[in-house]
Chain A
Amino acid sequence: MAQATKKKPVAKAAGAPVSARIAAQAHFHTLRLGTPFQPRIDALARTQDWYNWAGYRAPHSLWDEELEYFAIRSQAALFDISPMTKYRIEGPEAEALLNRVTLRDVTKLRPGRVHYTAWCDDEGFVLDDGTLFRLSPTRFRLCSQERHLPWLLDSAVGFDVIVEEETEAVAGLALQGPTSFAVLRDAGFAGVERLKIFDLADFPHDGGPQGNTQVTISRTGFTGDLGYELFVSADMALSLWDRLMTSGDLRGIRAIGYTALNRARLEAGLIVANADFTTAEHAIRADRLRMPDEIGLGFMIDLEKGHFNGRRAILEARAKRKLRYVLVGLEIEGNIPAEHAIVYHKKAHEVGLVSAAMWSPMAKRNIAIASLARPYGDTMVEDLWVEIYAMRELQYQKLMKRAKVVARPFIKLDRRTANPPADF
């Protein structure tokens, strides 16, 4: 039998994307990217203690994790949040799309405001939590821990809206701590005193190659303290950093790493996706999935606003009492942190697990966040215990300590919301 001769298929026309693609090949040389602030952070990194945050080289600490923590609570701390995943959602129906995707009522989010929200899959399991910035009536920025482009694009079917991932294009900084307002004011961000908690506004910044540009400042943060978050295009990042550092010098501004921030967020009672709960697109084991009511986010659910993803499942779970877990704040006797401790009822029956714990320097309490199987932590809150394995000189010291379900946040600071912000 004759063998057909090979016809050489014509290569597809090499358009612009091909050369752009080829130009990007070399990324494999750098497995952990630097953020737009990396030159400044590298210069301050005395500990060289790095971790991988979504593919970026991020500091656990820079010079002293204890002092970095106290910079948040007593001075001003600068934390690079550029690796956070960011999406631009823009168009006449951006509000409608986000109202369908997320739990809270986006029509109540005015332009110039930010809210903390979460979104679910059809089964009502949480895909992620994050912050939604309403930059204008038709433009939003969604910031999250994990990546969601396919979900957002598929959600956008039938909506007049553009969804674009802008993580690399937009640099972000968190400036947190009692002197943060003063630092911004002194840096020349006129009018920043008008920002109330969860407000945002654009301010001029002229340090970049393109001349005058805007920096978006919101009065938000992840510390439970007075604080702001600043977003700017990547090419303006360094000049913004320098501007803040210069003005903050005498106010004790310090760059910090994640360890310090993580302490502050725990005191504030805030949860972290894939630390305190597993996001639905990453949960391989079916019992790891969580509904908003199971991780303390039930308050976001707005059943009056019209349809949103997961509504049906959430309603059914509530109606049929199918909620299986509850996320609680615990106060534990003593001062030994109960990190990853198992929670027991009556010291015998295993009812849950601590996902984050610490001795709170601010509250002077031994605090923890734990996930418990209902009804424990929900209707049964008495006689709960945690089993702490405290490693001391190569030996576990096993402690069974009483745990009390308490309200979050563990600390409440009036300066966080005070208007006008205090000048420290």
Chain B
Amino acid sequence: MTSFDAIIIGGGHNGLVAAATLAKAGRKVLVLEAGSEVGGAARTEEFAPGFRASSIAHLLNRLHPDVVKTLELEKHGLQFGRADFMPSVALSKDGPPLVLHGAYGEVLTGASSSEQSAWKGLRAQLLRYAGILKPFLYRRPPDLAGMSLLETVSLGQTALALKKLGKEDMRDFLRVLLMNVADLLDEQLTDIRLKGLLAFDATLGSHLGPRSPTSLLGLYYRLAGETDGAAGAQVLPQGGMGAVVTAIRASAEKAGVEIRTLAPVAKIIVEKGRAAGVALDNGEVMHASTIVSAINPATTFLDLVGPREIDTGFVRKVKNIRMKGDTAKLNLALDRPPQFTGVDAAGHKGRLVIAPSPDHVERAFNPSKYGEFSPEPVMEITLPSLADPSLAPSGACVLSAVLQYAPYALKEGWDAGKPKFLKAVMAQLESYAPGIGKSVIHAELLTPADIETRYRMPGGHWHHGELQADQMLVSRPVSGWSGYDTPIDGLFLAGAGSHPGGGVSGAPGLNAARRIIAMKG
């Protein structure tokens, strides 16, 4: 039997990034993937004969530049230029849409000139502030336990590197940091379509409404991502998100990583407080001195390690991680491309957002607090086959949409709720793209419950844990253990449940690998 230095559990993009990074540093690495192919929730899958769509994530807007560089992804076929940047289209029922062009609205069309200049100011401010937070998002979080007064102060000083912003800008930064997004938008903008779009972007993937304090952080999180050096830019890879994973996989394999699919891990073997290996479902046992879990933290500790190898307080913390998703995925096989009212051809290749106003998003959020879905859901739609005809039969079209709010713990249960929610979604789509209902050949709706089962994401949460202020940075995945190491020596976390969180960034995987290398693990 071959022996490995490190075993990575989970072949999602973060697991692969961690594997590749470790392999490039000279480790012998094995990746164990439970499913039949790697990629986790960032795959391209056939959901109807001849129709393929990205699994959950369907846009790339935050792949970490260090990941691109370290893994030489451009060499492995992943390359984007400005021409690939997709516009964001804020759909409107009663008028023409508003469009953000380039990297998150370098140019705004469809709005009044005063709104355009207000947006220019706000966009610059948002990017400036997101830029300040960026190092925090991409570095390993500070270690509170070992922090001396000096470190505290220097951490404060790092934060105050924002001094170069100038006094007033810094004051505004500190004021708005934990604010709700709706208030900030109301302070600076008037167009409800634009405000609706931004409110949607800030809350997408979280259990927050635009009026919830701290919701602005979601927007910063998005804008801290970049593509081709442009913050906030978004692209649709040719071949869907699976293409990203293919490139990462190629890089990993080139570095010598061995990948085994259909190899679900049943147990992480712990001996005297130290991870010693893993046991597969089929009973096969493999040993390695470093075990990296790139899957969900709760699954890792409660199922694979098991509570008896860890302390009660830690179990408590892990159980307290909020990870009940509110986001569903819709894949539609359409017999022809839909026509969204008022949207031009370029717009149809962009990201189409139904979020008519912040109030609408807030109203859509309300029922999710009580285990009910939004009767008028908000959503982000892409038509990937328009730019990449390989995804659908000729003349036909794929619609891929991310929908909110669809709470994981639906009171009536998703068996009963799913057809009703699909109906609500289709009604919403119909009012923006009349006739779309009749062109549906096949509809696949993945509720958070489906996502949980299919992608092994507890709670169906694509961040593997709510990405809110109290579950970020030093509190992610749990306080005291935010630096990728765990109470089990030799066991590390590398998934989206760790800092900085989800989205196809590769940052948790990269940071974890760097930590392991630094610890000479």
Q: Write the residues of chain A forming the contact surface with B, with a CB cutoff of 8 angstroms.
A: 96, 100-101, 121-123, 151, 154-155, 157-159, 307, 309-312, 315
- B302 in the interface, Cβ–Cβ < 8 Å? yes
Contacts of B487 in A (CB 8 A): 122, 312
A121 and B311 contact, Cβ closer than 8 Å, known pairs A158-B302, A307-B273, A312-B487: yes
B117-125, B313-321, B507-515: which lies at the A interface?
Answer: B313-321
CB-based contact A96/B312 at 8 Å: no
A-B contact pairs, 24 of them (CB 8 A): A96-B308, A100-B307, A100-B308, A101-B312, A121-B311, A121-B313, A122-B311, A122-B313, A122-B480, A151-B312, A154-B312, A155-B315, A157-B315, A157-B319, A158-B307, A159-B307, A307-B270, A307-B309, A307-B310, A309-B313, A311-B311, A312-B273, A312-B311, A312-B487
Which residue of chain A is the closest to B313 with respect to CB atoms?
A: A122
B404-452 interface with A by 8 A CB criterion: none
> Measured between C-beta atoms, what is the minimum distance from A322 to chain B in Å?
11
Which residue of chain B is the closest to A313 with respect to CB atoms?
A: B311
Contacts of A154 in B (CB 8 A): 312, 315-316, 319
Q: Which of B309, B312, B315 neighbours the largest number of chain A CB atoms within 10 Å of its CB?
A: B312
- B306 in the interface, Cβ–Cβ < 8 Å? yes
A158 and B308 contact, Cβ closer than 8 Å, known pairs A311-B273, A312-B273, A312-B487: yes
Q: Write the residues of chain B forming the contact surface with A, with a CB cutoff of 8 angstroms.
A: 270, 273, 302, 306-316, 319, 480, 487
Contacts of A307 in B (CB 8 A): 270, 273, 308-310
Which residue of chain B is the closest to A150 with respect to CB atoms?
A: B316
Contacts of A309 in B (CB 8 A): 311-313
Q: Which of A101, A121, A151, A154 neighbours the largest number of chain B CB atoms within 10 Å of its CB?
A: A154
The 6 closest A-B pairs by CB, nearest first: A122-B313, A158-B307, A122-B311, A155-B312, A309-B311, A307-B309
Contacts of B302 in A (CB 8 A): 157-158
Q: In the complex, what distance in Å separates the CA atom of A299 from the CA atom of B127?
A: 58
> Measured between C-beta atoms, what is the minimum distance from B304 to chain A in Å?
12
Q: In the complex, what distance in Å separates the CA atom of A310 from the CA atom of B313?
A: 9
Contacts of A315 in B (CB 8 A): 273
Known A157-B315, A158-B308; further 16 A-B contacts with Cβ < 8 A: A100-B307, A101-B312, A121-B311, A121-B312, A122-B313, A122-B480, A151-B312, A154-B319, A155-B312, A157-B319, A158-B306, A159-B307, A307-B270, A307-B308, A307-B310, A312-B311
Which residue of chain B is the closest to A97 with respect to CB atoms?
A: B308
> Measured between C-beta atoms, what is the minimum distance from A10 to chain B in Å?
14
A122 and B312 contact, Cβ closer than 8 Å, known pairs A157-B319, A158-B302, A311-B273: yes
Which residue of chain A is the closest to B487 with respect to CB atoms?
A: A312
> Measured between C-beta atoms, what is the minimum distance from B13 to chain A in Å?
30
> Measured between C-beta atoms, what is the minimum distance from B365 to chain A in Å?
19
> Measured between C-beta atoms, what is the minimum distance from A148 to chain B in Å?
10
> Measured between C-beta atoms, what is the minimum distance from B16 to chain A in Å?
30
Q: Which of A100, A122, A155, A309 neighbours the largest number of chain B CB atoms within 10 Å of its CB?
A: A122
Contacts of A96 in B (CB 8 A): 308
Contacts of B308 in A (CB 8 A): 96, 100, 158-159, 307
Question: How many pairs of A and B residues are in contact by the CB < 8 Å rule?
Answer: 49
Q: In the complex, what distance in Å separates the CA atom of A121 from the CA atom of B480?
A: 14
Q: In the complex, what distance in Å separates the CA atom of A264 from the CA atom of B309?
A: 40
Q: In the complex, what distance in Å separates the CA atom of A96 from the CA atom of B313?
A: 17
Q: In the complex, what distance in Å separates the CA atom of A123 from the CA atom of B319?
A: 18
Contacts of B480 in A (CB 8 A): 122
Contacts of B273 in A (CB 8 A): 307, 311-312, 315
Q: Which of B302, B308, B309, B487 neighbours the largest number of chain A CB atoms within 10 Å of its CB?
A: B308
Contacts of A158 in B (CB 8 A): 302, 306-308, 315
Q: Which of B306, B307, B319 neighbours the largest number of chain A CB atoms within 10 Å of its CB?
A: B307
Which residue of chain B is the closest to A155 with respect to CB atoms?
A: B312
Contacts of B314 in A (CB 8 A): 122
Which residue of chain A is the closest to B314 with respect to CB atoms?
A: A122
Contacts of A123 in B (CB 8 A): 313
> Measured between C-beta atoms, what is the minimum distance from A158 to chain B in Å?
4
Which residue of chain A is the closest to B319 with respect to CB atoms?
A: A157
> Measured between C-beta atoms, what is the minimum distance from A128 to chain B in Å?
13
CB-based contact B311/A157 at 8 Å: no
Contacts of B313 in A (CB 8 A): 121-123, 309
Q: In the complex, what distance in Å separates the CA atom of A157 from the CA atom of B315?
A: 8
Q: In the complex, what distance in Å separates the CA atom of A100 from the CA atom of B314?
A: 13
> Measured between C-beta atoms, what is the minimum distance from B105 to chain A in Å?
34
Contacts of A312 in B (CB 8 A): 273, 311, 487
Q: In the complex, what distance in Å separates the CA atom of A309 from the CA atom of B480?
A: 16
Q: In the complex, what distance in Å separates the CA atom of A121 from the CA atom of B312?
A: 7
Q: In the complex, what distance in Å separates the CA atom of A96 from the CA atom of B312?
A: 14
Contacts of A101 in B (CB 8 A): 312
Which residue of chain A is the closest to B315 with respect to CB atoms?
A: A157
Which residue of chain A is the closest to B302 with respect to CB atoms?
A: A158
Q: In the complex, what distance in Å separates the CA atom of A63 from the CA atom of B311?
A: 47
Contacts of A311 in B (CB 8 A): 273, 311
> Measured between C-beta atoms, what is the minimum distance from B38 to chain A in Å?
30
> Measured between C-beta atoms, what is the minimum distance from B348 to chain A in Å?
38
Which residue of chain A is the closest to B312 with respect to CB atoms?
A: A155
Partner of A310, one of B270, B307, B311: B311
Which residue of chain A is the closest to B316 with respect to CB atoms?
A: A154
Contacts of B306 in A (CB 8 A): 158
Which residue of chain A is the closest to B489 with respect to CB atoms?
A: A312
Q: In the complex, what distance in Å separates the CA atom of A155 from the CA atom of B307?
A: 8
Q: In the complex, what distance in Å separates the CA atom of A96 from the CA atom of B306?
A: 13
> Measured between C-beta atoms, what is the minimum distance from B486 to chain A in Å?
10
Contacts of B307 in A (CB 8 A): 100, 155, 157-159
> Measured between C-beta atoms, what is the minimum distance from A299 to chain B in Å?
21
Q: In the complex, what distance in Å separates the CA atom of A100 from the CA atom of B315?
A: 13
Q: In the complex, what distance in Å separates the CA atom of A307 from the CA atom of B310?
A: 7
Which residue of chain B is the closest to A100 with respect to CB atoms?
A: B308
Contacts of A122 in B (CB 8 A): 311-314, 480, 487
Q: In the complex, what distance in Å separates the CA atom of A380 from the CA atom of B389?
A: 81
Q: Which of B270, B314, B316 neighbours the largest number of chain A CB atoms within 10 Å of its CB?
A: B316
Contacts of B316 in A (CB 8 A): 154
Which residue of chain A is the closest to B310 with respect to CB atoms?
A: A307
Q: In the complex, what distance in Å separates the CA atom of A309 from the CA atom of B312?
A: 7
Q: In the complex, what distance in Å separates the CA atom of A155 from the CA atom of B306?
A: 12
Q: In the complex, what distance in Å separates the CA atom of A72 from the CA atom of B216?
A: 68
Q: In the complex, what distance in Å separates the CA atom of A315 from the CA atom of B315?
A: 20
Which residue of chain B is the closest to A119 with respect to CB atoms?
A: B312
